Amino acid sequence: SKGKYEHYMQKEIHEQPESLTTTMRGRLIRGGSSKKKSVLLGGLKDHLKTIRRSRRIVFIGCGTSYNAALAARPVLEELCGIPVMMEIASDLLDRQAPVYRDDTILFVSQSGETADTLNALEYALENGALCVGITNTVGSSIARNTHCGVHINAGSEIGVASTKAYTSQIVVMAMVALAIGADTISTKQRREGIIESLLSLPGKIKEVLKLDQEMKDLARSLISEQSLLMFGRGYNYATALEGALKVKEVALMHSEGILAGEMKHGPLALVDENLPIVVIATRDQCFSKQQSVIQQLKARKGRLIVMCTEGDAAAVCGGSCRVIEVPQVVDCLQPVVNIVPLQLLAYHLTVLRGYNVDQPRNLAKSVTTE
């Protein structure tokens, strides 16, 4: 039931502090006399040695699940030291791309029933890869047919637009990275820092949800736009893609996520004083590069909405553009926080434009045909 909420999407956005808590429950071990912190994923523990020996790790998914994998890719690369490749399920099949026996393939799917992802799983099994599922649905086809995996335990998601599953998927994949990398002494401090940040994440999501009214006001200012661009890079390239996907699928507004590093290679031509552009510029190692992107967009009179770390409004655009200030967490988990205002924005845009939030036209929750 929707309880006090008007729509499932709204309920599912607002319950993320709880869904993330459930996702992590029993899986983060803190304490002992040594104050040791570690991750325990029951579904992976017997397979970690094999995964560590694999030549590459490949993520396969569609839509939001692909975006979640993209958000987790940098931390997986960092902690595992194994090349991580990204594949959209249908594209892997279209190309009949090579898959090897010493590949570990992570199949990411909320429903566990997406036809494209299932077909890719069948293909990978035939080719002898180790197939790992990351799914929300116990007993689903992907959960049953993978060699092993992790349930994200986000609770059932009813709104067609995926919201709480996205944040839980990123958290699970960060935990997978921590588990695979747990045998590397040189990353111990980094891993402990990430675990600490995971534990504080539900509280940070509670804080960022307080932007609800601000996002409603922002949505009101965008209600009759034709298009909305979102620029991100590094950890938050995925945030740009996922924010844009939410806006287009529920608010039925054209929106495009753009890798900021590609700006000068085409998208810059679109910039004028009318087109609204969200720029994600929270603190991480890409911050100074994003600052220069903002300067260049401003030089072309771009209509900017900048997402920045709390307290950074003046630093990012000298007070001359609209800002969304979000609480800071460890860099690799920042996408979990940053997507929330964009989910709220898409939600309010949809309601204000008078469209069906929970069942956007032409879409189904689970895409069981190719």
Task: Give the footprint of ligand F6R on this chain (CB under 6 A).
Answer: 62-65, 109-111, 114, 117, 161-162, 245, 249, 366-367
Distance in Å, CB of 135 to ligand F6R, minimum: 8
Distance in Å, CB of 139 to ligand UD1, minimum: 8
Residue 109: name its binding partner from ligand F6R, ligand UD1, none (Cβ under 5 to 8 Å by kind): ligand F6R
Q: At residue 195, what is the residue type?
A: I
Q: At residue 200, what is the residue type?
A: S
For residue 29, state whether it binds ligand UD1 (rule: CB under 6 A).
no
Residue 133: name its binding partner from ligand F6R, ligand UD1, none (Cβ under 5 to 8 Å by kind): ligand UD1
Residue 328: name its binding partner from ligand F6R, ligand UD1, none (Cβ under 5 to 8 Å by kind): none
Residue number with CB closer to ligand F6R (80 or 336):
336
Which residue in the set 30, 42, 50, 295 belongs to the binding site for ligand UD1 (CB under 6 A)?
Answer: 42
Residue 236: name its binding partner from ligand UD1, ligand F6R, none (Cβ under 5 to 8 Å by kind): none
Residue number with CB closer to ligand UD1 (176 or 294):
176
Measured between alpha carbons, how far is 135 from 95 in angstroms, rounded to an integer?
Answer: 25
Distance in Å, CB of 21 to ligand F6R, minimum: 21
Measured between alpha carbons, how far is 53 from 280 in angstroms, rounded to an integer?
Answer: 36
Encoding tokens for residue 261? Answer: 């590093």
Measured between alpha carbons, how far is 100 from 131 in angstroms, rounded to an integer?
Answer: 11
Distance in Å, CB of 278 to ligand F6R, minimum: 18
Residue 168: name its binding partner from ligand F6R, ligand UD1, none (Cβ under 5 to 8 Å by kind): none
Q: Assess contact for 294 and 279: CB atoms under 8 A.
A: yes
Residue 325: name its binding partner from ligand F6R, ligand UD1, none (Cβ under 5 to 8 Å by kind): none
**SS3 readout for the chain:** CCCCCCCHHHHHHHCHHHHHHHHHCCCEEEECCCCEEEECCCCCCCCHHHHHCCCEEEEEECHHHHHHHHHHHHHHHHHHCCCEEEEEHHHHHHHCCCCCCCEEEEEEECCCCCHHHHHHHHHHHHCCCEEEEEECCCCCHHHHHCCEEEECCCCCCCCCCCCHHHHHHHHHHHHHHHHHHHHCHHHHHHHHHHHHHHHHHHHHHHHHHHHHHHHHHHHHHHCCCCEEEEEECHHHHHHHHHHHHHHHHHHCCEEEEEEHHHHHHCHHHHCCCCCEEEEEECCCCCHHHHHHHHHHHHHCCCEEEEEEECCCHHHHHCCCCEEEEECCCCHHHHHHHHHHHHHHHHHHHHHHHCCCCCCCCCCCCCCCCC
Distance in Å, CB of 29 to ligand UD1, minimum: 12
Distance in Å, CB of 147 to ligand F6R, minimum: 18
Binding mask of the shown chain, residues 154 to 193, with x at each position contacting ligand UD1 by CB under 6 A: ----------------------------------------
Question: Measured in Å, how far apart are the chain's first and last C-alpha atoms?
Answer: 31
For residue 138, state whether it binds ligand UD1 (rule: CB under 6 A).
yes
Residue number with CB closer to ligand F6R (65 or 104):
65
Residues in the chain: 370
Distance in Å, CB of 290 to ligand F6R, minimum: 26
Residues numbered 207-236 forming contacts with ligand UD1, rule: CB under 6 A: none
Stretch that binds ligand UD1, among 143-151, 176-184, 203-211, 232-240 (CB under 6 A): 143-151
For residue 146, state whether it binds ligand UD1 (rule: CB under 6 A).
yes
Distance in Å, CB of 145 to ligand UD1, minimum: 8
Which residue in the set 58, 70, 84, 142 belongs to the binding site for ligand UD1 (CB under 6 A)?
Answer: 142
Which residues sit at the interface with ligand UD1, rule CB under 6 A? 42-43, 133, 135, 138, 142-143, 146, 148-151
